[in-house]
């Protein structure tokens, strides 16, 4: 993709969302939902931020990934695209399961007094049983579930992605454009996600990013991925998103308020096929979608530019994601035992973890082709020797 074709607004969205995911996980020590490690004292403002971030962060990442797939398939065929996805997703996933995840499980087990010994002694136990908060199983992919889901979703929808680049696919997109331009039509896009969640969640109530028992959310994320791809097929779809950004913001705020009220009043129906539960799933999906439309619309309006920070961050974003959970849990394990106020612990975890992640990326991950390969990065460009450079200039 040439610089003139690059969607800098989508680069910004991806970078900002990963930063939000980072801050979200730093706050998991202090919010009110179950997690690997918990501070003795929880904190409502952190819980409120995490509630807000959880409404849109992962669906938005899948949508942006779908948009990236459009540009990737524009420069390679389906076979090369799959090979690229293997290097970008499966290699870091395998490396992460073997190297990045085990220390996280170790810190949790020793904190909860479920293991006593060194990490070297624990490592063989990592492969015993499937992970659970309560134990005794340990084997997990933790936050790297995103890479696994993204790879599976890509394989499932690949025939559709290829079809949409054909003439018949173009005809389908033209009909979609005609529909999307109508007032309010862009909000009807929630129907497939609503259908999947309402119909499949009672059958697959796990929701723990384990893929096999999580098909309600797998297909939910699949829709966002396809929408991200579709939106890039014609700029007029993005024009519609930008035009509807204020309406989306109002609807997102209203839906978020309604969900927060239901959560605080403990009025959300249990998983099942009741009318109340189906209605809540519709409200949840509308909230997800409207926040996403809001961010996409405003980013296209305000963030269609590049700078040195974006160029650096766009390359670092995947290694940052792969590393962040390990570093946060390693730092947080010690910080939550400090005798300081909750907010000071929260800020300390954010600051220390961010610095450590960037140091690891800058001085280890990006330096060699081996580490770049393991973290899903492109290989370092070969340096041109002075003699070759002179020959190149002479040839020109």
| Residue 369 pLDDT | 96
Tokens representing residue 77 in the block: 């065929």
User: Does residue 90 have a pLDDT over 70?
Assistant: yes
Say whether 390 sits in a helix, a strand or coil.
helix
Percentage of residues in the chain with pLDDT exceeding 90?
Answer: 83
Rounded-to-integer distance, Cα 168 and Cα 66, Å: 20
Q: What's the pLDDT band for 136 if we cut at 50, 70, 90?
A: confident
- Tokens 């041109």 — which residue? 384
User: Does residue 121 have a pLDDT over 50?
Assistant: yes
| Residue 385 pLDDT | 57
For 198-239, the pLDDT digits (tens) are 999 999 886 678 888 899 999 999 999 999 999 998 888 899
Q: What's the pLDDT band for 396 if we cut at 50, 70, 90?
A: very low
| Residue 207 pLDDT | 65
Q: Would you say 237 and 177 are in contact if contact means Cβ atoms under 8 Å apart?
A: yes
Determine the average pLDDT of the residues in 362-388: 85
Determine the average pLDDT of the residues in 188-205: 94
| Residue 212 pLDDT | 87
Q: Would you say 95 and 179 are in contact if contact means Cβ atoms under 8 Å apart?
A: no
Tokens representing residue 21 in the block: 């995911």
Q: What is the DSSP string of 242-272?
A: HHTHHHHHHHHHHHHHHHHHHHHTT-PPPSS
Rounded-to-integer distance, Cα 87 and Cα 73, Å: 15
| Residue 335 pLDDT | 98
User: Does residue 350 have a pLDDT over 70?
Assistant: yes
**Mean pLDDT in the chain?**
92
For 141-157, the pLDDT digits (tens) are 999 999 999 999 999 99
Helix axis angle, 308-335 to 8-26, nearest 10° = 10
183-192, 197-206, 377-386: least confidently modelled range: 377-386
Rounded-to-integer distance, Cα 160 and Cα 173, Å: 12
| Residue 126 pLDDT | 96
Determine the average pLDDT of the residues in 360-384: 90
pTM for the full model?
Answer: 0.93
User: Does residue 326 have a pLDDT over 50?
Assistant: yes
| Residue 11 pLDDT | 96
Q: What's the pLDDT band for 116 if we cut at 50, 70, 90?
A: very high
Q: What is the DSSP string of 326-361?
A: HHHHHHHHHHTTSSS-HHHHHHHHHHHHHHHHHHHI
| Residue 383 pLDDT | 61
Q: What's the pLDDT band for 182 if we cut at 50, 70, 90?
A: confident
| Residue 392 pLDDT | 37
Say whether 139 sits in a helix, a strand or coil.
strand
For 252-305, the pLDDT digits (tens) are 999 999 999 999 999 999 999 999 999 999 999 999 999 999 999 999 999 999
- The neighbouring-strand residues paired with 139 are 130
Query: How many CB atoms lie under 10 A from the CB of residue 346?
Result: 22
User: Does residue 159 have a pLDDT over 90?
Assistant: yes
- The neighbouring-strand residues paired with 130 are 139
């Amino acid at each position: 993709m040439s610089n003139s074709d690059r969607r800098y607004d989508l680069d910004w969205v991806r970078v900002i969302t990963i930063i939000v995911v980072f801050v979200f996980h730093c706050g998991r020590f202090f919010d009110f939902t179950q997690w690997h490690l918990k501070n003795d004292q929880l904190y409502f403002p952190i819980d409120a931020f995490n509630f807000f971030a959880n409404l849109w962060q992962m669906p938005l990442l899948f949508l942006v990934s779908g948009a990236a797939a459009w540009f990737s398939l524009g420069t390679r065929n389906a076979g090369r695209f799959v090979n690229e996805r293997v290097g970008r997703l499966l290699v870091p996933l395998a490396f992460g399961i073997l190297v990045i995840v085990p220390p996280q499980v170790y810190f949790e087990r020793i904190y909860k007094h479920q293991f006593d010994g060194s990490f070297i002694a624990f490592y063989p136990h990592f492969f015993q049983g499937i992970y659970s908060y309560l134990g005794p199983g340990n084997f997990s992919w933790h936050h790297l579930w995103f890479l696994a889901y993204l790879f599976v979703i890509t394989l499932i929808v690949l025939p559709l992605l290829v079809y949409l680049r054909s003439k018949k696919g173009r005809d389908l997109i033209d009909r979609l454009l005609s529909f999307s331009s109508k007032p309010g039509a862009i909000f009807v896009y929630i129907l497939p996600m609503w259908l999947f969640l309402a119909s499949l969640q009672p059958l697959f109530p796990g929701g723990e990013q384990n893929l096999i028992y999580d098909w309600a959310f797998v297909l939910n994320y699949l829709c966002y991925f396809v929408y991200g791809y579709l939106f890039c097929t014609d700029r007029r779809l993005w024009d519609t998103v930008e035009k509807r950004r204020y309406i989306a913001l109002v609807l997102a705020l209203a839906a978020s308020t309604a969900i927060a009220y239901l959560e605080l009043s403990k009025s959300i129906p249990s998983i099942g096929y009741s009318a109340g539960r189906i209605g809540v799933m519709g409200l949840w999906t509308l909230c997800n979608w409207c926040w996403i439309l809001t961010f996409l619309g405003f980013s296209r309006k305000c963030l269609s530019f590049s700078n040195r920070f974006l160029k650096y961050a766009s390359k670092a974003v995947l290694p940052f994601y792969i590393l962040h959970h390990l570093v946060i849990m390693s730092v947080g394990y010690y910080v939550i035992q400090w005798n300081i106020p909750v907010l000071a612990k929260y800020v300390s975890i954010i600051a220390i973890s961010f610095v450590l992640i960037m140091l690891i990326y800058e001085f280890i991950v990006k330096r060699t082709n081996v580490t770049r390969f393991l973290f899903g990065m492109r290989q370092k460009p070969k340096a041109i020797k002075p003699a070759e450079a002179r020959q190149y200039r002479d040839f020109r």
